[in-house]
A and B are shown apart, each in its own frame.
Chain A
């Protein structure tokens, strides 16, 4: 695991820290020259650098103003938390945009569009375990995983399991895998309804290795509130999806829906599954 924990970025590429210092203009002249030369020659780092600039612009457009933050502090009577003391922050919901476009596809970022630009951000914990291949070669190598970005109005942000979302939000699902596989993405919502998010056809579709590769279409969330679980099946074979969906749908709707108690989809032998949980709430207008 120790090797796998550190094998996400090529040695020659800039660390996130160095890129952040570069974008902030905090490197000395020589280091800045060297970093810029690398960015100019490295498509991956160029994309990461452009994504950081877009991220900064998005934050300036979307985040509460500093005055609002200071006002919250005054209202709550909050003092700076001492080391280890419980925080006294006022719960701050992820803000809505202020009428400016959040992300602009810029420079050498490969894909156009707000969600695709957001999908260029690198993962933080690049936990890519060594291959977990069974003796008969039917298991999928590596830690395949599903991720997503959430679009609310004009704002796009990376999502994480446990994310609070609302009806009308659009999800751009992504996958990461080190080896080719056949992918199917299903969900079960709080009412027990099981849906197939990907693909459109009856069988899992082949995907090529990649990191945070967006699926061809996004999903607009309906108005069923509560917890929704999204399962991504990464399979060696193009399995039929309907039996998996039907099995998920057959779970009694009266059961409570804590994610820890949710049974997994019936897993064909050649499949590995990753899952994320959404909490769908009704946001006040």
Chain B
């Protein structure tokens, strides 16, 4: 597929791959409305800077995975979005304010984990824990070496273990 940034090309990318962006955004953000906004934001960015698509190290799907992940992680870090996610996903609490849903608490923990990580670790967390990608696939999407991915995963595991220990 041609990588130049003509509007016709971008339209084809939007029609044929927009569903991937929407699905990822929906899953990461947990909101249909925000997912559509993220889709819009990503493609408006491509309209303005189509050269972003000219990345020879990654497939188009890989680029869209990366771009959507980065965009959504930025939104997750936004204070208002975090507060809404926490509010929407915390299970009902008892009279003492303790959460009564272990699964809902863990989902909040995962999103909290993302919000507190530096960019590269947060992205690796999404690909490794969320997408359950192989190291090779993560390297392909992130545009780095497999060895670097291994380092990121080890650092990530250490952070997760630290979080578990502090709970």
List chain A positions with a Cβ less than 8 A from chain B: 1-2, 4-6, 8-9, 15-18, 20-21, 24, 26, 52, 55-56, 58-60, 63, 66-67, 69-70, 72-73, 78-81, 84, 87, 89-95, 121, 123-127, 129, 132, 142-145, 157-164, 231, 258-260, 262-265, 267, 272-277
Contacts and interface: CB of A to CB of B under 8 A. Distances in A.
Given A17-B131, A124-B28, A132-B102, 17 more contacts: A1-B160, A17-B65, A20-B20, A24-B59, A70-B7, A73-B47, A73-B48, A89-B37, A89-B44, A93-B33, A121-B23, A159-B32, A161-B88, A264-B91, A264-B92, A273-B101, A274-B103
A122 to B, nearest CB: 9
Contact of A17 (B11, B46, B60, B137): B137
B41 A127 contact: no
A65 to B, nearest CB: 8
Contact of B160 (A5, A73, A265): A5
B109 interface: yes
Interface string B141-163: 10000000000000001001101
Contacts, number: 199
Contacts of A1: 106, 109, 160, 163-164
A127 B61 contact: no
A263 B92 CA distance: 7
Interface of B: 7, 10-11, 14-20, 22-24, 26-28, 30-33, 36-37, 39-41, 43-49, 59-62, 65, 74, 84, 87-94, 100-104, 106-107, 109-110, 127-134, 137, 141, 157, 160-161, 163-164
B18 A59 contact: yes
A63 B18 contact: yes
A274 B104 contact: yes
B131 A94 contact: no
Contacts of A60: 15, 19
B33 A78 contact: no
Contacts of B92: 231, 262-265, 273, 275
B108 to A, nearest CB: 10
